[in-house]
Chains A and B, each alone.
Chain A
């Protein structure tokens, strides 16, 4: 059974500082996703990571994947208030089903 562990579950960020969210998973997977969710809304896709060593960056967010360690990280550079949201990683199994992490609630304060 595929299990996904995400930590931390809550992250209080100061504006301007850097932070990392971690996502560990238990079995081999072809794809790992990062999503953002704002309160009351659905998921917004941030990144799809397909291969070992994949690194993708968009603005202040950078995601990486190490398939050997079964670890993905979402790095936030110089946090700003607009980044306050809940972030989920999700790992896809061979059937296309997604197993989600518990989510990280991010609050950015001045």
Chain B
């Protein structure tokens, strides 16, 4: 079954409004989660690292005041796109790393959220 969930799976919003995307780790606790963005026909680009108990860290070129990240609990991280514009339309995917032992490690990706800003 799914290890990571995202909500909503698809959202359409008007330009200038804000939208919140949730990423939940279903089977294990995670002090770190990652947020990626994928534009059509492109690869995934890391946006930021969500850290439980501390501020998120953002990749170069990602506006921290526009993409608000809150690691609300050990199983939930949220990404809020504020004052959305059409160029923010993209596929947003979270990932949650899990290490069970030195030889067992995986990064689990959520099902993604497709954001369309009109």
User: Which residues of A are in contact with B by a Cβ distance under 8 Å?
Assistant: 31, 33, 35, 40-43, 45, 48, 50, 88, 90, 92, 95-103
Contacts and interface: CB of A to CB of B under 8 A. Distances in A.
B107 interface: yes
B90 to A, nearest CB: 13
A98 B46 contact: yes
Given A31-B105, A95-B49, A42 B43 contact: no
Interface in B65-118: 93, 95, 97, 103, 105-112, 114
Main secondary structure of the interface of B (DSSP, over half): strand
Contacts, number: 50
Given A96-B97, A98-B34, A42 B106 contact: no
B25 interface: no
B44 A33 contact: no
Nearest to A33: B107
Interface residues of B, number: 22
B51 to A, nearest CB: 11
Contacts of B93: 42-43
Contacts of A90: 44
B34 A88 contact: no
A42 B111 contact: yes
Contact of B106 (A41, A48, A88, A100): A48
A31 to B, nearest CB: 7
B49 A88 contact: no
Pick from B49, B93, B107, B108 the residue with the most CB of A within 10 Å. Answer: B107
Interface in B12-43: 32, 34, 36, 42-43
B107 A88 contact: no
A100 B44 contact: yes
A86 B31 CA distance: 30
